[in-house]
Structure formats: C-alpha cells, structure tokens
C-alpha cells in the first residue's frame, strides 16, 4: 500500500495544472440553483475525458460518474450550484473569470464548492491509471440545487435513482481537515393575523405587527436557552425575515409573519424545535409551520422536501472516520485535524435521513463560502485529489 500511496501523490502532483484548469472551466460557467445545465455538461465532459467507466445525468440533473462495478459502494459528492455574486464592488477580480494566479484558482464556486468535484475528477483519472480493481463501485456525484435546499439532490438519488452507498465523502470545503458532522437546521414560519381598521383610530383594530413584534422579542430570549453539545456547539434561532400586510398604509396591519432560521444541535429534533417556538408564540396568537421546498430543476423535473435538515455526527472512532485518518496519514505523514462544519451540507439527508456513514474532506476554507474574493489554493486541489483516490484503496 505504501507504494500505491506514493504513486497517488506523484500522479496528483503531475495533474496539478489539469485539475486547476478543469476547475477554472467550471468557475467560468454561472451556475445558480436550477440553472446548472451548462456546468453539468462541462463536468460530464471532464469525467468522460478522465476515463470514467460510465457518466450519466439523472432526472434531477445530477451528474453521476462511475468507476468499478463491485459490491461495496462509495459515493463522493460535491454540489455544482453556487450562490450569486452579491455586490460586485466587493470583488477584487471577476468572479466568473476563473483566473489561475499566484497558486490559486479564483472565482465564485472555487471553494463552495466546485473545487471538490474538480479534484475528484482527477481522482477518478488517477484510479483508472493505477488500474483500480477492488470489488467496489465508486460514484462521483456533481449534485444540484444544494444552495436552495441542501440534501434534496441526495433524496432524489436514494429514492429515485435507487443508489444508496455504503460510505460517502462530502467534498464541501474543510480546509483539508476531516469533518464528521454539523448542526442541522429548519426553516420555520410564524404567522399572525389581526383586524384592520383606519389608521386614524387604531384602537378599533387588532394590529398583527404588534403581536409579531412581541413574539420576536421572546424568540430572541429563546435563543439564549437552547441546548448545547460539546462537539457541535449550541443550537440557535434567529429571525431572518419580518413581513406584514394591511389594506393600505393608512390602516392597521392585519397580517404579519416571521421567518426563523433554526440551527439544531445534537439531541434537538424537529418536534422539540416546533414545541419551543409554539410555547413562545401561542399566547400571542402565532401559528407555527415548517416550510416546504418544491421547485423545478433545469431538467424540468419538479421535486421537493420539507425544510427540516437533520443534525448529524459520526463518532471519531467510526471506521469511516478512521479510514479517512489512515489515508491522510499515509499520504501526508502527519495527523489530520478532525472537526465539524459550521454550515449545513448534503450530509443532512445522506446521514441525517438515510444513515449513510460519511465524512467531509474538501479543498478551500469555508470562511470564503458565499463571500467575495473567493479563491482556492491549488495545493488544496492536489491534496484532495490524492485523498479521494487513497480513501478508495484504504476502505
């Protein structure tokens, strides 16, 4: 195995420019959620060029490349949609330029998270070049719509494509650390109704904004007393939207709603989170609901799920974590840092719903996710390429 790892390192370095150039091509294609068609076609082309055994696009638009046809199934996932650019004045370079300069690939999606797929394309090429022949099937998945609804893509893959891997790796950015979980999340709406009347005599009505405002202050207090987990940290809740309506600007508001971003730590469930909010808002007449996502993919397929994304974590001594640790040590001759994400990933369905043992390992620093001046070190891409190939041998 030592010789195999030596060859993997050598080949990942040999393909340094190839990996960077592939990522540059992906970054140059704007790929917001539900608008990923062109970037998916480019990823499919790259997989085919790398010599994958099979490459297809499923009904939701996920690109699925396959190497091997064995009993044990591994999936390596990276989402191909990105967020938008934001205020262009905050960028020092063209976010769609894909510039390769000073040891980085620059642009939107380089970290979050097309760098992972660019690296795993190279991993596939390395495995083919080494004649990988284990009794294993490896799926390399460029998934869609994650930014809009994390995990929806894997709900489709498991339930519609009937692919449920034995192990998985998320290539979301981890700064080349091994991650084993993150908090879950929910999107909750709290609705208030009142009675409108003329604004010149507000005492005749029942103002929904006042109810919602009182509830907002109670929700702020709720955040302070939520559960804490030693590894994942504290649960949280914040109000991310406050909307109201009335017959006119000269009338008392008869409608208001609050949109809650609820982050769930270990031990917190959907039922617990709903009950906590209900206890706060019910005396004020608030109605609580978990929102539902349903949209049409670029393929024309309409698909959806409830906006409840479960918390997940894998024990540090779990075989999938230790496989990653052993592969890392064999490649890089040092101990990896084992940690967690701050944000949410497709792991919410892969492990949270379906119990697939998984870890995260990806190029780039998550602090640049959704931020201006996003860029990924080419050294990270090289090491990620080596890691994914080594994991396939180590597992």
To the nearest 10°, the Cα dihedral for 99, 105, 107, 108? Answer: 150
Cα–Cα distance, 109 to 28 (Å, whole number)? 9
Among candidate residues 64, 52, 51, 67, the one with its CA nearest the CA of residue 136: 67
Which pLDDT score, from 0 to 100, does residue 103 have?
98
pTM of structure: 0.96
Per cent of the chain over pLDDT 90 is 100
Query: Which residues participate in catalysis according to the annotation?
Result: 81, 146
Range 291-314 average pLDDT: 98
Cα–Cα distance, 165 to 354 (Å, whole number)? 10
- The third-level CATH classification (topology) of the domain covering 184-296 is Alpha-Beta Plaits (3.30.70)
Grade residue 1 by pLDDT with cuts at 50, 70 and 90: confident
The pLDDT tens digits for 316-358 are 999 999 999 999 999 999 999 999 999 999 999 999 999 999 9
CATH number (3.40.50.1220, 3.40.50.280, 3.40.1410.10, 3.40.630.10) of 2-182+311-394 reads 3.40.630.10
The pLDDT tens digits for 197-223 are 999 999 999 999 999 999 999 999 999
The pLDDT tens digits for 29-60 are 999 999 999 999 999 999 999 999 999 999 99
Residue with tokens 């709406």: 189
Which pLDDT score, from 0 to 100, does residue 335 have?
97
Mean pLDDT, the chain, as a whole number?
98
Cα–Cα distance, 209 to 191 (Å, whole number)? 10
Q: Count the residues in the chain.
A: 395
Cα–Cα distance, 170 to 359 (Å, whole number)? 6
Q: Domain-by-domain residue ranges, the chain?
A: 2-182+311-394, 184-296
The pLDDT tens digits for 229-281 are 999 999 999 999 999 999 999 999 999 999 999 999 999 999 999 999 999 99
Which pLDDT score, from 0 to 100, does residue 192 have?
98
């Amino acid at each position: 195995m030592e010789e195999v790892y030596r060859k993997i390192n050598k080949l990942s370095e040999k393909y340094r420019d190839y990996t960077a150039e592939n990522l540059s091509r992906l970054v140059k294609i704007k790929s917001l959620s539900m608008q990923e068609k062109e970037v998916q076609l480019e990823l499919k082309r790259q997989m085919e060029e790398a010599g994958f055994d099979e490459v297809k696009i499923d009904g939701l638009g996920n690109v699925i490349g396959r190497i091997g046809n064995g009993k044990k199934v591994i999936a390596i996932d990276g989402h191909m949609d990105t967020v938008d650019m934001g205020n262009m004045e905050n960028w020092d370079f063209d976010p769609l330029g894909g510039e390769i300069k000073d040891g980085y690939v620059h642009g939107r999606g380089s970290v979050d998270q097309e760098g992972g797929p660019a690296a795993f394309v190279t991993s596939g090429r390395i495995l083919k070049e080494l004649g990988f022949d284990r009794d294993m099937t490896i799926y390399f998945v460029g998934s869609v719509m994650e930014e809009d609804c994390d995990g929806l893509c894997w709900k489709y893959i498991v339930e519609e494509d009937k692919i449920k891997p034995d192990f998985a790796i998320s290539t979301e950015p981890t700064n080349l650390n091994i991650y084993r979980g993150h908090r879950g999340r929910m999107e909750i709406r709290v609705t208030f109704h009142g009675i409108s009347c003329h604004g010149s005599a507000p005492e005749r009505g029942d103002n929904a904004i006042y109810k919602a405002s009182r509830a907002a202050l109670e929700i702020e207090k709720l955040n302070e007393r939520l559960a804490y987990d030693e590894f994942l940290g504290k649960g949280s809740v914040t109000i991310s939207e406050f909307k109201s309506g009335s017959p006119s600007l000269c009338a008392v508001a008869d409608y208001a709603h609050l949109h809650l971003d609820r982050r769930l730590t270990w031990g917190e469930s959907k039922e617990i989170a709903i009950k906590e909010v209900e206890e706060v808002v019910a005396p004020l007449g608030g109605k609580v609901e978990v929102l539902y996502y349903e949209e049409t993919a670029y393929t024309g397929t309409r698909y959806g799920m409830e906006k409840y994304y479960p918390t997940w974590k894998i024990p540090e001594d779990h075989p999938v974590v230790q496989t990653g640790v052993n592969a890392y040590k064999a490649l890089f001759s040092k101990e990896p840092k084992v940690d967690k994400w701050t944000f949410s990933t497709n792991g919410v369905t892969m492990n949270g719903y379906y119990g697939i043992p998984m870890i995260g390992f990806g190029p780039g620093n998550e602090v640049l996710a959704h931020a201006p001046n996003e860029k990924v070190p080419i050294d990270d891409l090289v090491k990620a390429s080596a890691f994914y190939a080594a994991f396939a041998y180590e597992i």
